[in-house]
Structure 1
């Protein structure tokens, strides 16, 4: 039985500055059917505040408690450990780490999608901190994403891999497909993993990642970064494939009370 829904954001709800046709209505249909919803995103270029503003502007009824970001997970981890951090992130994201100390006694390097700020000097400074014993925290590990212009762009995963290779350090990934990230969102809904469904456009991080983490069902939508044949390139395979979120919600609502 499906009792809760996890949704990816970019590529599922919207592309660039436009909501994907029917997606806002699809979210409303889930609300009307009584499903708790959590949006779990690997977006690491914009702060939580601006992500929520964008969702509202595009017509999505998503509040702060329903949005889970890797930056929030990283901040909580750093605060719990009382760690100072070196941030290799986009300046726009810095406000999500306002209360995190930085300085010479760095215990963690936090890497997000820094875009044009992935300079040699910035990467080398992160490398040196890792060589001095700092842990490597990757806000995400995605290979690519669909940018505002509509083309695929290289994502943070390549830079994380470079730092891992250079330093001999393994990164702790805080966004999808990390099991803890899915589990945190599920716990906030009080929904067991087996009774949840994940909908995403990334066959690797969203779909295979969710199924590997114990999510009962994961559907792949042919929007956003999806490319023909993505479903055949991952294991586990998607539970179902839909043309877009609206069709995925049809699939969910048709199984609302079905025990499988």
Structure 2
């Protein structure tokens, strides 16, 4: 049995603004058993405060500090390295970076899921900063996400485009980065080998966790696609979060 549990959010706890069946009591069961929890997400369209508001509105009994997001990890990195970012991010996320958006002479490029801001002008500006030596900091490199029954482009394809154009390699600070998982576990004071990651994304959640030394469980909800389990030897497989908690926690 694990000593701590990390849960992906979208596709594991909810889908299209509604909690997935059995997920609310499953989280309650984990808390009743005393598991230290972190809800880990690459979501870069919402602030941590908004994620917390939405989840508690769905019935999840959580604390704000239990949410560990890629934007939070990126912000921590910027401050720790005294970087002035050019933020190619979603409008909804500006609040989380408000004190950093107006700093002069940007010397880093921060990229999240910028949606309609992924246009030529914004990408061109980021490209020239990278050519001048700015590092490329990515909140994640997910290829797509699921919303309202369909798959949509995520930030990953645009990360790859800038890497290719500028001849650089992005530092990914969200999942599947080992540093991201380490940051969440550091808050819980639990070694990687004693933690279980439960997610629906075989690449970012499951393979990323395994490579960081965690146990991992793939749930067949959210962006799961038939055959994904073949990509993650050694990972646990569950129908959904409730099934995972019942069998593996």
Common topology (TM > 0.5): yes
Cα pair distance change 1:238/1:41, threshold 3 Å: farther
**Matches of 1:179 and 1:58 in 2, distance apart?**
30
Q: How does 1:108-257 map to 2 (within 5 A)?
A: 108-147=108-147, 149-215=148-214, 217-232=215-230, 234=231, 236-253=232-249
Matched, 1:79 2:95: no
Helix, strand or coil at the partner of 2:43? coil
**Matches of 1:241 and 1:6 in 2, distance apart?**
15
Helix, strand or coil at the partner of 2:96? helix
Helix, strand or coil at the partner of 1:140? coil
Contact 1:219 1:238 (C-alpha < 8 Å) held by counterparts: no
Q: CA deviation at 1:79?
A: 1.1
Note the residue ranges of structure 2 that are not aligned, 5 or more in a row.
none
Q: TM-score, normalised by structure 2?
A: 0.97
Cα pair distance change 1:251/1:29, threshold 3 Å: same
Q: CA deviation at 1:239?
A: 2.1
Note the residue ranges of structure 1 that are not aligned, 5 or more in a row.
254-260
Cα pair distance change 1:211/1:71, threshold 3 Å: same
Helix, strand or coil at the partner of 1:6? strand
Once the two structures are superposed, residues 33-63 of structure 1 have per-residue CA deviations (whole angstroms, 9 ceiling, x without a partner) of: 1111100101011111111111111111221
Contact 2:87 2:101 (C-alpha < 8 Å) held by counterparts: no
**Matches of 2:135 and 2:114 in 1, distance apart?**
18
Q: CA deviation at 1:237?
A: 2.1
**Matches of 1:28 and 1:210 in 2, distance apart?**
23
Contact 1:231 1:238 (C-alpha < 8 Å) held by counterparts: no
**Matches of 1:4 and 1:128 in 2, distance apart?**
43
Helix, strand or coil at the partner of 2:21? coil
Q: CA deviation at 1:102?
A: 3.9
Q: TM-score, normalised by structure 1?
A: 0.93
Q: How does 1:14-163 map to 2 (within 5 A)?
A: 14-147=14-147, 149-163=148-162
Helix, strand or coil at the partner of 2:162? helix
